[in-house]
Chains A and B, each alone.
Chain A
Amino acid sequence: MPGLGRFIVARVLLAIPTILILLTIVFIVMRLIPGNPILAMVGMKAPPEYVEELMHKAGLDKPLYIQYIDYLSGIFRGDLGRSLIWGRRPVIAEIMDHFPATLELTIFAFIIAVILGTTTGVFGSSLRVIKGWRKFDSLMRIYGIISWTLFIPWIGMLLQLIFGVWLRVLPVAGRIDPGLEPPRITGLYVIDSIITQRWDSLVSALRHLVLPSITLGLVISGAFTRIVRNNMIEIFKQDFMMTYKAVGVSTWKFISAAFRNAFIPIMTIMGLQFAYLLAGAVLTETTFSWPGMGTFLVERITYADYTTVQGTVVFFAIIVVTINLIVDIVYAFIDPRIRY
């Protein structure tokens, strides 16, 4: 593959300044927040000199540019530093405590969004083109629009109300019944409980996943409907599809042929929606008290825990950039013209 290697290298190199820029923006923004984490922890009780001493110990009284350089050099060594509050645990450990929860939620939500979005998008577009069902297509489009305009906390709360309070069939908050957590292998409760054959853990984890992933998945599916539909219609307009139609293949073969060709671009664009998924996760987690990165990040921002917030943002950025990178590379692999 001529140029693919060069393309990959070029894109990876391009990813680095992107992450650096984000890091810098977050660093600046966080330092602009008045107050500091040491103060937040002991400010009320301890004598002022003591607070100064703790701040000095944490290196917070050094000039800003030195703190910035220190932080950057730490990043390059792979060291994200330590939290500035409570037990001063390493940021990586704290992130790893909370990331699996968000990952599990987003995976399930993504699956639900893909299923909902693909079916509505495929059937809406196909049946319109083949059978001329315009109204059905419009209906599918309306579904798409309504779902992305839903406010996540509102839908979440309505589901909590109906299934948790009135019907009492599903739990309204948390990730699992405390005490039922499976031994930690991947941190994803569903997988861990299957591996260790803890079926009560599995049931509890799945029950707690239902409402939050439906909430998030439903809202994300709206964007997916549009993506699928648009791409399918593009395919349908192609000459070769007209050929299929003229030849008279069965409806089902026709739809699946179109879908197979639209599949790659659809998946790649869906991958790019990952950033939206993370943003949506913050609101979902807050609504369902889901112990993931979203609630964790917001909490640490309010305590001005610089290192943890910076580390988390870097982490997010790396993930988003990596996924975009994979998507772009796959795209370029398919279509050599993209590699400039």
Chain B
Amino acid sequence: MDSSALDLQPLHRGAEADLFLSQLPPWKVVVKRRVRKAYRHEQLDASIRKERTIKESSTIRDGKVAGARLPSILGLDIERSTIIMTFIDGLLARDTIDTMSNVRRVSLLEELGRQVGFLHSAGIMHGDLTTSNIILPADEKPFMIDFGMARKSTDHEDHGSDLHLLQRSLIATHVLDAASSLRRVAKGYREVVGEEMAKSSLRKAAEIARRGRYFAIR
């Protein structure tokens, strides 16, 4: 679809893409546009933006089919490397997780585990799973966003890397107890993917943490 006629309100500027708010009645939408990078050869730039736009939207669609709570893709404008998806109204988990009650936090961590489980059982790796990429609407049922780094993978290493990144983000950014928060995430994750797969993914996550290559600095 042609996104050039949409009325765009700037929402956020990321490293790779600009996000805008817009209306596509009856929906309030987010317009994610991968912008031309001046440093990149024009031909290379065009092919990267096109490929990633298609990959991100198809991964989101596959994740939704698998049962994960994700925005809905409403349109693609490949010519402008733009994805149009439903706006998720809520707060970032990053900004709310420290102040919520213990009971609510426990149920949120378990639900996050389940959500990641849906992705992994469908062979999808999020690739950038931090509390900045999780939105909590009023009902506090979390949505995962930003699939710019996502890809198809059934490799335990990749699944472990998702869990490790989430854990690192919980510990590094928030004053949460590492062991108990990971236990909560693991509980929800196990419910969805089953004992065997959970064991391999969690073992990989612990192994990645031990490699000490990834520092908790965010």
Question: Is chain B found bound to chain A in the same assembly?
Answer: no
Contact residues of B with A, CB < 8 Å? Answer: none
